[in-house]
Structure 1
Amino acid sequence: MTSPSPAVLDLVTSLSRSRPGLEIDVSSLTRAQFAYDASNYRLTPQAVAHPRDVDDVVAIVRQAHRLKLPITTRGSGTSMAGNAVGTGLVLNLARHMNRVLRVDDDARTATVEAGVVLDSLQEVVRPYGLMFGPDPSSHSRATLGGMIGNDACGNHSVAYGRTGDHVLELDLVLADGVRVRADSTGITAVDPADEQRVRVLERGLRELIQSHLAVLRTELDRVPRQVSGYHLHQLLPERGFDVARSLVGSEGTLAIVVAATVQLVSRPSLNGLTVIGYDDIAAAAEDVPTILELKPAAVEGMDQAIVETMRARRGEAAVGQMPEGNAWLYVEFLEDDPDLIAHKVAQLKDRVRAEGRAREVRWVTSGPERAAIWRVREDGAGLSAIGPGGIRTWPGWEDAAVAPDRLASYLRDFRNLLQAHGFDGVLYGHFGAGCIHVRINFTTDTAAGRDAMRSFVVAAAELVTSHGGTLSGEHGDGRSRSELLPLMYTPTVMSAFAQLKTIWDPDGMLNPGVLINPDALSANIPSAPPALPATFALVDDDGDLAKAAGRCIGIGRCIADTGGVMCPSYRATHDEKDSTRGRARALQSWAARADTPDTADGADILRTLDLCLSCKACSTDCPTGTDMATYKSEFLHQHYRGQMRPLTHYTLGWLPTALRATRWIAPVVNAMLSSRWVVRALPRLAGITSERRMPRFASSRSISRELAQVPRSGGRALLFVDSFTRGFRPELVGSAQRVLAAAGVQVELAPDVCCGLTWITTGQLGVARRVLRRTVRLLNRPAASSLPIIVLEPSCASALAHDLPALLQHDDARAVAGRVLTFDQALHTLADPEWEYPELPENGTLQTHCHEYATFRSHKQSDSLRGHGMTNLQEATGCCGLAGNFGFEADHYSTSVAVAGQALLPALDRSSESDVVLADGFSCATQISQLRPDRKPLHLAQLLDALLAERSAAPDQQPESQGRPVS
């Protein structure tokens, strides 16, 4: 990576004086992370600016204009076309400029800053019964500015059209720093001193339109999703010279959108989703014109590859609700009248059955089931990126559109084209609008592969235009398709586009290389990095850490503040370096040595990994299966090989060994850790925060007393007592033994072995392997080699089920992993069918351990609890923030508390003090006890043990625990 140019250094110096506090980052780490979006391209910027407000933007743009420094404006950075990367200055509006400024419920409008995320806007306007109509699948992280930049649509575009259909006014900063407002009738200057500048601009636009009236009327706006090129037709006289909407879809090449006023729509109270299964995706497309006659809100299509990938990655339960077929249409009606919805669904069934192509039609009425079905569709881009067998697919031709009545014939021709070029593709999209998304198994990391991709894309452009379609139906042209625009438009229209660019941006400083004078579509695509052999198996990635990190394709679900659990540290800091995506991108650059010498020593990678909690949530929440906890362990293992490590790698990483010693002197250790002098010295002596109370160590006597309750032989299952349970809360052992015995599960005590978790999370994989070899040997002893292994601590269960086979890579390890059960799983699968679960309190709060969430997702403790009477259960869906070593490390305390504040603490604060609090994980329970000392978290075994004791004490009476605390 080259150093920032003198112009960039000049800009930073100037702005540090004129705009104190404005952050402009020229570090190699940030530049590497912002070199990517969700496309195939990599262009490293010279600097990344995070403006706080419009005045910051104006100051930055004026200085950049003076220095002739190009600017690329960026929202969430999820562009699949490469329109959010550039080699000059990246202007990141999402960090700070993300407020909803005004809502006018009478006019049904909202004014927002460009960096506001769509879901955030939806939450603000929900109380008014309103919403923003277009809803791209990336709604949890898509910014309004980005949606305006590429004229985003979404799943319900049949009803609500494109973003441009809802834009009323834009607040803009021009390429020279002048502020203007554009609306449906023209442009006005924010500062009266700039009025003459604006008049010249408007006159140029009017003259351009007058000289191209005929061609703009015939070549633009021909199909519903014609996003390619500029929207000059919005300036036609019959459109009223709508400058605001003419700028929608201009991809940041004409002006910088800093705020927008948008039209809102009424939020329907009811929806009716019908899923139709077909043998073939083209057959599904044949039914679209008939379905559109019923005026649905959404008609979405999808082929079997996405469903197969979802099934392989998340289990049968994730797709079990899908009708029979190899392709599917989602048809949704949005209304306020349930009878009208029922009538339309009935009509739909009659019509598609009459057409004779559908295999099965299913009306989905359950809310959770409807959400699960939409999840399959919304995860399409990520799920299809890495399919079953590890086959990787890429964007590049993912966004073409035709008129809906041409869709079936286009799809057949397109599949023939794929076959002729030796490619395969995963097809899905907005069939009701004729828009097809496809990811193709290109080989992008070799010169020959890029040539083959280019040959195909050119042929595909010729094909879609022969069907009267558009190169882009939603994502914009970007670097993927701008070069192909002359295949779609005549030279006259292309000349008009070029003139428009000159009128708005005479020096070509805004997002150069896109739309006008574009770079070649096969340029700026990185080659394959050299392989990085890994200690972890990384089976799906050929044992290659570089390939594994390459799983991240920039979809950006990890930078969403809602949904799932990842990425807790990003949600705390909103810094790209603390997201799963930011870490993966840094690892990709480091693996490719693209940033040598800046990151050759790995210092930047340590920075971006520092706040990774190793929660493992990304391994499940990320649609591509990016597993940053594993990559972090692998990197730390390689980086510190033969070197001194951070202090906590010894003090906390070797905790299981320390616990073997402290049990004999537990009273002394506990007394020392209660001394304020010792506590103050902990950061310096052990790297441990002084902000926390240390958990009390269990004595040898208490450990022996609890273990003595479990037989040493003769069981139908092994009770695995992990280091945390043995060393800090051995009372769980007796509770678990009594509950399992009551349930008819005869257990015996597993050998005193360790899961190796603390060595794994600190990247001491050599030690972890040695520990785990012994664990496998003793758990596979002949007398017990077939017994299920019940593990009380979820993180240890996860380490045995997931990390153990990945590290040891042999059949004995895989056999042990396959026998592991959490305590709740054991009750579900091993208990006597006649055993009656004790009646649970109605009210409770559950903190699910992140590792349990990630590794044992097919079985949810929350389902068990609700099914056995805890009907008013609230689940704190999010990381507790302690996360093993993380929350005890001196530099991480504040982040740990901030993460707890995302889900756990609000859930506790919403609950009554008398409600049961369940937290099976030692870290989760410790965090709750320390941050909410008035709440006593219980392991499920402790709750059930207490309830069974009550039932035993009063066998002829109804349990009195209903709705009251259990301790």
Structure 2
Amino acid sequence: MSRLRDAGVAADASPRRLAEYSYDASNYRVPPAAVVFPRGTDDVVRAVRACRDAGAPLIGRGGGTSMAGNAIGPGVVLDFSRHLTAVRSLDEDALVVDVEPGVVLATLSAEVERRTGGRLTFAPDPSSKTRATVGGAIGNDACGNHSVRHGRTSDHVEELDVVTSDGSRLTATHTGVRATDPADAPSVRRATELTAGLAGLAAANLAEFRVGLGRIQRQVSGYHLQHLLPERGFDVARALVGSEGTCAVVVGARLRLVPRPPAELLVCVGYPDVVEAARDVPTILGFDPAAVEGIDDEIVETMRFRRGDDTVRGLPEGRAWLYIGLDGANPEAVEADAERLLAALRANGRMVDGRRVPDATERASLWRVREDGAGLSSRLHTGGESWPGWEDSAVAPERLADYLDDFRSLLAEHGLQGVMYGHFGAGCMHVRITYDLRSDAGRSVVRTFTEAAARLVVAHGGSLSGEHGDGRARSEFLPLMYSPALLEAFRGFRAAWDPHGILNPGSLTEPDAFDAHLALAGVPEREWRTSFDLRPLGRHDAGAGPVPPGGAATDGGAARNEPAHPETDAPGPLDDWVHALQGCIGVGRCRAPSGGVMCPSYRATGDEKDSTRGRARVLQDMVRGARTVDEGWRSEEVREALDLCLSCKACSSDCPTGVDMATYKSEFFSHFYAGRPRPAAHYSLGWLPRWLGLAGRIAPLVNAALATPLTRLAPLAGVTAHRAMPRFASAGTWRRELRDAGVLPAAARGGAADGRVGGAGGDTGVVLFVDTFTRGFRPEVAGAAARVLAGSGEPVQCSADACCALTWISTGQLGTAKRKLARAAAALDDGTDRPIVVVEPSCAAALRKDLPELVHTDQAKRVAARVRSFAGHVAELADRGTLPRPAVPLPESVVVQTHCHEYSVFGAATQRKALAAVGVPEVSEATGCCGVAGNFGFEKEHYETSMKVAEQALAPALRAGGDAVPVLADGFSCTLQVKQLDAARRGRHLAELLDPRHPIPSRRSTP
């Protein structure tokens, strides 16, 4: 650290930061000494020289998505993804783009397409392309879904600007090495020496390079020294690609672009298993496909289980599937190719079913199943786990079926199962395996199996790695694949670039043992008792049985550390908390700059600490008792990591492994603040339902006070003074609204003595749940919702004598939350299966998800299963043809702010389905958190972040929609953000759009 400071390098060695960067997407954990976020090449040079002088290791890092442990190490980590993200010049005629190493691959492709009017793109598209960076793709020689057509990253590299371990700035080209700056005399000398050394290495190993390297399309293991051969033109740039950061630090790249095809089509084919699918690959390759990707049924079933059947709609029958991408000059020719291909596959007799997928939206949805394979397969629908480690082997495509057949036998021999997906057309398989990495016995099996698997793939003429690199996971086994002479050449190549030996130690040459530094080894046994039921995915429906209620809580609302479920259940409370946190395996979808909702705070700050992954890694170190974060429930580092979490719950849906950071934050806060004073906002905003009851009785006085300079006192309550406070409704207003709609609260109809919803209706109809916020702030929505439901012709009852406890949950006051939720369950459990339709999406989500996780009773489960969001129920009514027609035509277009909790708990398409069902032709959807997220956007220290979050989706949608387009925002928090962004506009509830008495008027033009 002192040498870095002396060199003028800003480094972060805080315990929280070190925890965040101790992991990538592999099985490994190696704490660094410090993390540096370089802003330019000069910062890199200074950091490299300081590390050289100190003899400290240095590790380059992009998106941190390495599955082989390539992006972690014991020294200084350089994270290029924070600042070095520019797409510099683009020469369309030369088909070359100049970029910095931290630019995300999907961002690069999108920017190239924007600048060229969609004519060109950058071809390599690994499944992690929405967060993996150019530097990482160069380090691993990444490929992607279209590698059958476009090959590997090395096929698209023109030049690489690098910094070597002595601080020289060099440029690797297709014909050698030069100094990046011709006036830099030391770098000129270094380039001359390096060029001579590499030429000598190639001359001494001509036969070895020709015979041992480049034998199959996906031979990524080791160094790519065949590019140094004379017949390859002494291509140093391509030889350097795939060196995994062990030779030089990449600070810039010139990359070759490719034309985008005019016409594209996906053909999806189902098979009985992956071996039968692999046997058809040679036939498919004869049709010159752009992509041939495969998945098995475990991934599909997990996708269905976690995100609903709609997410895999369009898959043909089968238990394994190939995605075959075809392209060409015109749609008709591509269609004809697809028909000929399907006919040929039918003639082979192996396929179960197949279909063309011409719709672009459906194609994108199906591709997402494939792209999320690594995450989905890690936490399966059965509750089981799988891990990388042997996830990247490759053979020639014509040998893939035989290799997979033998590989499955090897798995069975060791008592393991594999979840399979990958690049079938290139012979590269990604397999997640059901290892036991937590016990000594399990890790012993892993070692025995991995060595046998390495021997098997070599016997089939294949490569240990076909895309992800060797890293810590496979480098130890390179002697099984390569001759001693080639291994010595690898050492010579590395030493020529890095004679000081500081760059990414532990990989490729002189590697660490592959089972050293495993992240799941050495986690101490300790009781981590929780309020939430955190059993692994799938166990809730696997016969584990009902979970009994927990104990009482402290007066301050923090949950007592009671067991989550009986001693007879397995795994116990200890395992559940630890396993839940270990659900994050580092795939990093939370770092994607666009698409989905996760993770709004990271998109606002660009800091790893504010990503779901960063928070999970700090929590994982917490349960390790690591030196970085060793105070357990009282860890200030964890509290800091969770500070900007909006509790939007988007990660529980968008994260392929289902990480639910909102729940983990709530659980942690319940313990962190136990017996301590809480932030003022936890009392002012966290107890808001209590204050609403009082404020409603004197609403005019409260509203008048809020409009005066008394609001300057807001910061004392932890509330920002920059936000207009909502107006309180007078007590009883919501009752009048319901009475006008012909629906009375259950108590007014003679509710049952046991607290259940009473009155007429019996076992038919619906229960309308009017939440605290609707009653207290927008009672007119209750009336509109009641009229819409009543107009369906079914009996409607209203329940309002309950609270979903959301504000107590989000602030971690779980004792109070459990009591309120238990009362809500008792009030709503009426002995029927009638849907409980909830006006406010966040309350609906709390009753559906948090209720059974906090109140461990069958009653809570029964009630949760009946809960619907209003939009979801509207879609059901429309499908049945019982939705009442509005009094006026609906608007031609609307802007919709989708509520994060509804998105994550009830499905991403809930609002779109409802609006499509009622006949709104044009929907502009702001798919992203509004930024308020309950109490978050009102807290004074979070206001600035909340407004940055609003700029990710909502604010642009409002500007694009225009003043005349209605804005739908079912969530009350969302309506407040709409008003904050545009005081002249009001966010409306879907119920108001459909209200048969007072609908939102159409903005359609009249002739």
TM-score by length of 1: 0.95
Aligned residue in 1 for 2:776: 727
1:35 alignment partner AA:
S
Q: Structure 1 residues 787, 42: CA separation in 2 closer, same or farther (over 3 Å shift)?
A: same
Where does 1:1-16 land on structure 2 (aligned, <5 Å)?
8=1, 10-15=2-7
Range that drifts further, 934-943 or 887-896: 934-943
Q: Structure 1 residues 869, 828: CA separation in 2 closer, same or farther (over 3 Å shift)?
A: closer
Per-residue deviation, residues 691-711 of structure 1 (Å, max 9, x unmatched):
111111111253442244422
Where does 1:581-592 land on structure 2 (aligned, <5 Å)?
581-592=613-624
Q: Structure 1 residues 815, 701: CA separation in 2 closer, same or farther (over 3 Å shift)?
A: closer
Per-residue deviation, residues 576-596 of structure 1 (Å, max 9, x unmatched):
010000011110000111136
Q: Structure 1 residues 551, 355: CA separation in 2 closer, same or farther (over 3 Å shift)?
A: same
2:484 alignment partner AA:
P
1:228 is aligned to 2:221: yes
1:697 alignment partner AA:
F
Aligned residue in 2 for 1:636: 669
For 2:993 and 2:388, the matched residues in 1 are separated by 51
- In the alignment, is the contact (CA less than 8 A) between 1:445 and 1:525 conserved in 2? no
1:845 alignment partner AA:
V
Name the SS for the 1:718 alignment partner. strand
1:714 is aligned to 2:764: no
1:963 is aligned to 2:1004: yes
Name the SS for the 1:540 alignment partner. coil
Aligned residue in 2 for 1:553: 585
For 1:155 and 1:768, the matched residues in 2 are separated by 46
Aligned partner of 2:905 among 830, 851, 855: 855
How much does 1:936 deviate?
Answer: 1.6
Q: Structure 1 residues 927, 745: CA separation in 2 closer, same or farther (over 3 Å shift)?
A: farther
Aligned residue in 1 for 2:282: 289
For 1:738 and 1:226, the matched residues in 2 are separated by 65
Range that drifts further, 34-43 or 651-660: 651-660
Q: Count matched residues.
A: 939
Name the SS for the 1:641 alignment partner. coil
For 2:908 and 2:124, the matched residues in 1 are separated by 33
Aligned residue in 2 for 1:401: 394
Where does 1:392-431 land on structure 2 (aligned, <5 Å)?
392-431=385-424
- In the alignment, is the contact (CA less than 8 A) between 1:80 and 1:475 conserved in 2? yes
Aligned residue in 1 for 2:885: 837
For 1:524 and 1:428, the matched residues in 2 are separated by 27
Aligned partner of 2:595 among 551, 554, 563: 563
Aligned residue in 2 for 1:4: none
Per-residue deviation, residues 158-201 of structure 1 (Å, max 9, x unmatched):
00000000000000000111101111011111243121122111
For 1:253 and 1:288, the matched residues in 2 are separated by 35
Aligned residue in 1 for 2:843: 796
Runs of 4 or more above 4 Å deviation: 596-600, 947-951
1:647 is aligned to 2:639: no
2:665 alignment partner AA:
K
Per-residue deviation, residues 583-622 of structure 1 (Å, max 9, x unmatched):
1111000011113665443100110100000000000000
Name the SS for the 2:536 alignment partner. helix
Name the SS for the 1:390 alignment partner. coil
For 2:883 and 2:920, the matched residues in 1 are separated by 18
Aligned residue in 1 for 2:146: 156
Aligned residue in 1 for 2:643: 610
Aligned residue in 1 for 2:713: 681
Per-residue deviation, residues 191-224 of structure 1 (Å, max 9, x unmatched):
4312112211111111111000011100000000
Aligned residue in 1 for 2:291: 298
- In the alignment, is the contact (CA less than 8 A) between 1:825 and 1:859 conserved in 2? no
- In the alignment, is the contact (CA less than 8 A) between 1:227 and 1:249 conserved in 2? yes
- In the alignment, is the contact (CA less than 8 A) between 2:967 and 2:986 conserved in 1? yes
- In the alignment, is the contact (CA less than 8 A) between 1:389 and 1:540 conserved in 2? no
1:663 alignment partner AA:
G
How much does 1:890 deviate?
Answer: 0.8
- In the alignment, is the contact (CA less than 8 A) between 1:688 and 1:888 conserved in 2? yes
For 2:190 and 2:483, the matched residues in 1 are separated by 31
Aligned residue in 2 for 1:572: 604
For 1:62 and 1:598, the matched residues in 2 are separated by 33
2:158 alignment partner AA:
L
Range that drifts further, 85-94 or 384-393: 384-393
- In the alignment, is the contact (CA less than 8 A) between 1:546 and 1:587 conserved in 2? no
- In the alignment, is the contact (CA less than 8 A) between 1:28 and 1:599 conserved in 2? no
Aligned residue in 2 for 1:38: 25
Aligned residue in 2 for 1:180: 170
Name the SS for the 2:697 alignment partner. coil
1:168 is aligned to 2:215: no
How much does 1:388 deviate?
Answer: 1.8
For 1:320 and 1:930, the matched residues in 2 are separated by 39
How much does 1:856 deviate?
Answer: 0.6
1:805 is aligned to 2:852: yes
Aligned residue in 1 for 2:373: 380
Where does 1:921-936 land on structure 2 (aligned, <5 Å)?
921-936=971-986
1:603 alignment partner AA:
E
For 1:868 and 1:268, the matched residues in 2 are separated by 37
Q: Structure 1 residues 597, 788: CA separation in 2 closer, same or farther (over 3 Å shift)?
A: closer
2:594 alignment partner AA:
T
- In the alignment, is the contact (CA less than 8 A) between 1:792 and 1:823 conserved in 2? yes
How much does 1:409 deviate?
Answer: 0.6
2:607 alignment partner AA:
D
Aligned residue in 2 for 1:540: 536
1:51 is aligned to 2:38: yes
Name the SS for the 2:837 alignment partner. strand
How much does 1:963 deviate?
Answer: 2.4
Aligned residue in 1 for 2:827: 778
Per-residue deviation, residues 711-758 of structure 1 (Å, max 9, x unmatched):
243242222111111111111111122222222243122141100100
- In the alignment, is the contact (CA less than 8 A) between 1:114 and 1:258 conserved in 2? yes
Aligned residue in 2 for 1:954: none
2:592 alignment partner AA:
A
For 1:597 and 1:931, the matched residues in 2 are separated by 39
1:799 alignment partner AA:
A
Aligned residue in 2 for 1:956: none
Per-residue deviation, residues 239-296 of structure 1 (Å, max 9, x unmatched):
1111110000000000000110000000112211111111121111111111101110
1:626 alignment partner AA:
V
How much does 1:837 deviate?
Answer: 3.4
1:728 alignment partner AA:
F
Aligned residue in 2 for 1:766: 815
For 2:600 and 2:774, the matched residues in 1 are separated by 26
How much does 1:667 deviate?
Answer: 1.5
- In the alignment, is the contact (CA less than 8 A) between 2:378 and 2:387 conserved in 1? yes
1:666 alignment partner AA:
A
For 2:10 and 2:736, the matched residues in 1 are separated by 58
For 2:432 and 2:53, the matched residues in 1 are separated by 41
For 1:534 and 1:835, the matched residues in 2 are separated by 43
Where does 1:646-665 land on structure 2 (aligned, <5 Å)?
646-665=679-698
For 1:702 and 1:66, the matched residues in 2 are separated by 73
1:897 is aligned to 2:889: no
Name the SS for the 1:198 alignment partner. helix
Aligned residue in 1 for 2:870: 823
2:6 alignment partner AA:
S
2:243 alignment partner AA:
S
Name the SS for the 2:456 alignment partner. helix
For 2:631 and 2:179, the matched residues in 1 are separated by 45
- In the alignment, is the contact (CA less than 8 A) between 2:37 and 2:83 conserved in 1? yes
For 1:436 and 1:520, the matched residues in 2 are separated by 23
- In the alignment, is the contact (CA less than 8 A) between 1:32 and 1:44 conserved in 2? yes
For 2:224 and 2:872, the matched residues in 1 are separated by 57
Identity within the alignment, % = 53
For 2:177 and 2:612, the matched residues in 1 are separated by 41
Where does 1:183-202 land on structure 2 (aligned, <5 Å)?
183-191=173-181, 192-194=184-186, 195-202=188-195
How much does 1:826 deviate?
Answer: 2.5
How much does 1:690 deviate?
Answer: 0.8
Name the SS for the 2:382 alignment partner. helix
1:481 is aligned to 2:474: yes
For 2:942 and 2:390, the matched residues in 1 are separated by 43
- In the alignment, is the contact (CA less than 8 A) between 1:32 and 1:595 conserved in 2? no
Aligned residue in 1 for 2:100: 113
How much does 1:106 deviate?
Answer: 0.8
